[in-house]
Structure 1
């Protein structure tokens, strides 16, 4: 599977240690990707009840780094995670060709990647390259990537 870019994001709540959340996020960024190939952004905002929240986003655009990311991401997935993603693939790919996978933030801090659907997650968004650029083509590309 090829991709245009990857975006990883999560929230840092006021009750959380920012360094620990950033460490959890780093679980998804392989060591061979150069720091300059990852664009980090931290934006402070407010939650629904006025509580302070930070939104952290890491974006990888350079094709070599994106390939390294995809290889790393695939290596993190368990057989159960792959089965779950394949089972729900139609919901995980949008009409614009983006694959969305959510991971448990607490497990990521421990260096584990576990697919999760809760609120306290790290979201991985992969803008897949497919031709023609239709949802069906993207779904097929993801299926082949996960099966390979």
Structure 2
């Protein structure tokens, strides 16, 4: 399945802002590095594990924006992150073919994109085609290799 056939219905970007972080700086960095429109973020105040104040941010992107974001992330990842993602794609997707990426929030603030498990910007890409989720993995591999 060629990479152009890979279409997402939406992408959802989620992150947690801690009271110690400069929220404007983090959001501006996400906008600058990943081109996520600032006005898409909704903010929900919440409480962290130790009763500290946190903000939950969420942005929903359209189909076209989701595709652009996926291509942008893949082109900005370094070769070892791309290789890791390609070799362990099943761990980054679910039975519905959703693709889950976690990007290092601090590295984004530094203008770089890398995969991370801790303090991450979580992104879920929902594919348009659901009838063959296994085909999505091949499409994701195509997306990874097309940006090298």
TM bucket normalised to smaller: 0.7 to 0.9
CA shift, 1:15, in A, is 1.2
Deviates more, 1:71-80 or 1:40-49: 71-80
CA shift, 1:131, in A, is 5.0
Mark the runs of 5 or more structure 1 residues left unpaired by the alignment: none
Q: Return the structure number with greater helix share.
A: 2
The residue that corresponds to 2:56 in the other structure is 55
CA RMSD of aligned residues (A): 1.9
Aligned 1:30-109 pairs, distance under 5 A: 35=37, 39-61=40-62, 63-109=63-109
1:28 pairs, out of 24, 34, 38, with 34
Cα distance per residue 1:108-146 (max 9 Å; x no partner): 00111011122x111121112335242x12212211211
Question: How many pairs does the alignment contain?
Answer: 140
Mark the runs of 5 or more structure 2 residues left unpaired by the alignment: 1-5
Q: Distance in 2 between matches of 1:79 and 1:130?
A: 28
SS of the aligned residue for 1:96 comes to: coil
1:137 pairs, out of 130, 135, 141, with 135
SS of the aligned residue for 1:74 comes to: helix
Cα distance per residue 1:40-74 (max 9 Å; x no partner): 1111011122111101112111x332332233222
Q: Distance in 2 between matches of 1:64 and 1:114?
A: 23
The residue that corresponds to 2:3 in the other structure is none
List, as ranges, runs of 4+ consecutive aligned residues in structure 1 with deviation greater than 4 Å: none
SS of the aligned residue for 2:102 comes to: strand
